[in-house]
Amino acid sequence: MELDEIKQVIQLSIPDAEVYVLDPMNDGQHLQAIVISSTFEGMSLIKQHQMVMRPLKEALASAVHALGLKTFTPEKWKESKAQFLS
């Protein structure tokens, strides 16, 4: 599955999300998604991850070995983004 396809699936399920999908090992198998959405406000980290992973489950089953996931509210992203994007 292409990085853009993963991003599109996430954005379709969480329309206000800012989404980054990275391939840090450049192997197409161990991907990382960073998802920022105000929808996550007041939601537990587990619920945030479930919200992202549910629509991806079928797509990822046959294509990607692993997907690291980071979710942020917009406020938390402002505090943390320097750690992830250069």
- Can you say whether the dihedral through the CA atoms of 79, 9, 33, 47 is positive or negative? positive
Please indicate, yes or no, if residue 84 is contained in any of the structural domains.
no
Q: Domain tally for the chain?
A: 1
pTM attached to this predicted model: 0.75
Residue scoring higher pLDDT (27 or 17): 17
Please indicate, yes or no, if residue 62 is contained in any of the structural domains.
yes
* Domain coverage including residue 55: 3-77
Please indicate, yes or no, if residue 86 is contained in any of the structural domains.
no
CATH code (residue 73): 3.30.300.90
How many angstroms separate the CA atoms of 38 and 66, rounded?
26
pLDDT on residue 28: 83
Please indicate, yes or no, if residue 13 is contained in any of the structural domains.
yes
Q: Indicate if the pLDDT at residue 59 is higher than 80.
A: no
One-letter amino acid identity for 64?
Answer: V
